[in-house]
Amino acid sequence: MARDDTPGREGPQGPGDAAAPAEGVTRDPEEPRIRELERRLAEAERARLAAEEENGELRVDLRRAQDDSRRAMNQADQLLEGLRVISEVRQVDALFAGMLEVLRGVLGFQAAFIVVFIDGRPPRVVAATAPDLLRIAWAPGRFTARVLKGSTVALFDLSEKAEWKAIAPELRGDFAAALHVPLASPRSQAMLVCLHRRRGFFDSERSALARRFAVLASQALQNAEHATELEAEVATRTEELRRERDFALQLTMSMAQGLVTTDGDGRITLANPAFAELCAVPGDALIGRPLAELFVGHEPPTAAGSCERLLVTRGGTRGATRGGAPSLVLIASAPRYSGSTVEGSIHVVTDLSQRQRVQEALEEARDAAEENSRAKSMFLANMSHELRTPLNAIIGYCELLLEEAEEREDAGLCGDLGRIRLASGLLLELIGNILDLSKIEAGKMEVAVESIDVAAICQGAVTSVEPLAGKNHNIMMVDLAPRLPALRGDPVKIRQILINLLGNACKFTERGMIELIVRAERRGDGEAICFRVRDTGIGMTEEQAQRVFMAFTQVDGTSTRRYGGTGLGLTITRYFVEIMGGTITVESAPGRGTTFTVRLPCGGPEARSEPARSEPATG
């Protein structure tokens, strides 16, 4: 028999042979698929277990995240609520204290204080959680400068910074960590310092939270400072308004004139004491009373419509008084506004009764004075006439006796008679001046206008005063311009003007020079003749020159005694010049002589642009 050598038929069986059914046993065709399913189920179970483990870790992370979120939300809510509360604070010091309370609940620090930095002043702790911390004297250095520039800095060893080294140990305490937070506004700088005994307490999370707080707190600080400034400004303005109101009220109540205000219905809302006195009604009784009841024949505008059209109304009216006769008053009214709306009116009431009585008294006094002046002028005119007649006789007899005494060569008698003639002449001159002055005051001075020979007038005046010039050893000179234009005027008055001026110059000049200069001048108002009398006499001060044309005035009290005269000559001279349309001026200095300048229009008085004066010049 042959041996079957086919491989696999003999010898040990392989792994696949073990699962093979025994010879003669039927094999299950689903077995491989079942085994694959079992394998997959095992892998799925392993994946499920891994997923459950991962989900457990995620749930832990989720719970942790939820806790962190809730904590952050709680912190945010606490922060916002605290900021809402402190944002309502308007005082800066109270705001700082509120900041510490808010941040204590958020950060959980054990102590804190706030330092304020103001230029030119030492840093000052303005708020703290403990009284001892208020005594800290903070010495700013580079670390402080870093914080104030905007950095939030946490320290875990306080001894490493100079600022903390400078603080007394009993104030620094046993704190190990500090968080420094900048607070800034346009008006100031501050630093918030939080303290804790645990070295690593102020971690990055708390530092970030403090930074967010600093931004919001700085805005609250700016708002508080602005509110403080506004309150100070409002207080200042309120005080100014109060003072203005008090001043206006005091002014109103102390006015001598009556002042009353009314509402839109014309009822009195305010009345000062002067108005109450004018109406003879107590001030309290006037309030609420219609203003129109107090006036007769006049109703002050009070309705809103009339006030809107009213600017100022003035008029005399009769104001009713209680228990007395009406008095004449002047009412000035104006609308009273509230913004742009008319809400009433203001009336200033002036009592004209006293003024009317004074005016009537003045008119009576003026009439009496005019009557007295007319009587005086008539008296002077009559007396002057009565005095001239015997005085002319005295002068005539004196001259006759003087001629006889000269023939007998009686020197003693000649001297006495000469003094009598001189005194009589002065008295006659005084009487003439007084008569002229009385005519001037009475308005009866007449001007006889005619053509004038200027050269002849000047020569006649010089001839009249030559004896006086020779008596004082003066030199008289006349400088008359050739071809002078024709002059119209009163020859008597022009001659008197020149005699007065030349005589005055001779009287106040000794051993000097008197010069009469006559020139023609052309100005915008036409041609004029200029008479200038210049001397080298005693002169006058500026004050004396201003008074020289006043009646009965001489340069000083001794002039009358030394030089004689009445003080009327220049007054009359000025009036004569002015009634002929001219002007007269004086230039002088003490010890340097005097110059009088008279300008007369060639056309005479009718050539003037203004009418002649009817009253005497009094300087």
Classified as helix, coil or strand, 7 is coil
pLDDT in tens, 48-101: 888 888 777 777 767 766 666 666 666 666 666 656 655 655 667 777 877 788
Task: Specify the CATH number of the domain 445-607.
Answer: 3.30.565.10
Residue 560 has pLDDT above 50, yes or no: no
pLDDT at residue number 553: 60
Angle between helices 491-507 and 454-471 (to 10 degrees): 30
Burial of 478 (0-12, 13-18, 19+ CB in 10 A): middle
For 39, the enclosing helix (H) or strand (E) is helix 31-87
Q: How confident is the model at residue 403 (pLDDT cuts 50, 70, 90)?
A: confident
Q: How confident is the model at residue 533 (pLDDT cuts 50, 70, 90)?
A: very high
Of 3 and 488, which is predicted with more confidence?
Answer: 488
Measured distance CA(49)–CA(554) in Å, rounded: 141
Residue 3 has pLDDT above 60, yes or no: no
Q: How confident is the model at residue 306 (pLDDT cuts 50, 70, 90)?
A: very low
Of 93 and 145, which is predicted with more confidence?
Answer: 145
Note the CATH architecture for domain 82-231. 2-Layer Sandwich (3.30)
- Please name which of 462, 460, 500 lies closest in space to residue 586, comparing C-alpha atoms: 500
Residues 6 or more apart in contact with residue 297 via CB below 8 angstroms: 317, 318
CB 72 within 8 A of CB 79: no
Sign, Cα dihedral of 350, 353, 354, 356: positive
Q: How confident is the model at residue 251 (pLDDT cuts 50, 70, 90)?
A: confident
Pairing of strands 475-480, 513-523: parallel
CB 279 within 8 A of CB 286: yes
pLDDT at residue number 59: 74
pLDDT in tens, 471-486: 889 999 999 998 888 8
Measured distance CA(86)–CA(464) in Å, rounded: 108
For the chain, the first-to-last Cα distance in angstroms comes to 190
Residue 532, token pair as written in the block? 């200038």
pLDDT cut 90: percent of the chain above it: 17
CB 432 within 8 A of CB 467: no
Q: What is the DSSP string of 230-292?
A: HHHHHHHHHHHHHHHHHHHHHHHHH-SSEEEEEETTSBEEEE-HHHHHHHTS-HHHHTTSBGG
Sign, Cα dihedral of 204, 205, 206, 209: positive
Classified as helix, coil or strand, 595 is strand
- Alpha carbons within 13 A on the beta-carbon side of 313: 19
Tell if the pTM clears 0.75, that is, is over it: no
pLDDT at residue number 619: 33
pLDDT in tens, 268-303: 999 989 888 888 788 788 899 888 777 665 555 544
How large is the average pLDDT for residues 580-609? 85
Classified as helix, coil or strand, 422 is helix
pLDDT at residue number 252: 85
Classified as helix, coil or strand, 212 is helix
For 530, the enclosing helix (H) or strand (E) is strand 526-535
Helix/strand/coil (H/E/C) assignment for every residue in 123-176: CEEEEECCHHHHHCCCCCCHHHHHHHCCCCEEECCHHHCHHHHCCCHHHHCCCC
- 37 phi/psi in degrees, rounded to 5: -65, -40
pLDDT cut 70: percent of the chain above it: 78
Measured distance CA(189)–CA(182) in Å, rounded: 8
Of 328 and 372, which is predicted with more confidence?
Answer: 372
pLDDT at residue number 75: 60
How large is the average pLDDT for residues 24-52? 79
- Per mean pLDDT, which range of 83-97, 107-121, 207-221 is the poorest? 83-97
Helix/strand/coil (H/E/C) assignment for every residue in 369-411: HHHHHHHHHHHHHHHHHHHHHHHHHHHHHHHHHHHHHHHCCCH
Of 309 and 174, which is predicted with more confidence?
Answer: 174
Which residues are 196's β-sheet partners?
177
Q: How confident is the model at residue 593 (pLDDT cuts 50, 70, 90)?
A: very high
CATH superfamily of 255-351: PAS domain (3.30.450.20)
Q: How far is CA 65 from CA 51, 79, 209, 383, 481, in A?
A: 20, 20, 17, 133, 125
Q: How confident is the model at residue 318 (pLDDT cuts 50, 70, 90)?
A: very low
Q: How far is CA 358 from CA 255, 330, 332, 537, 573, in A?
A: 21, 16, 22, 50, 37
Q: How far is CA 18 from CA 22, 23, 37, 280, in A?
A: 9, 12, 21, 146
Q: How confident is the model at residue 583 (pLDDT cuts 50, 70, 90)?
A: very high
Sign, Cα dihedral of 423, 425, 431, 434: negative
CB 564 within 8 A of CB 507: yes
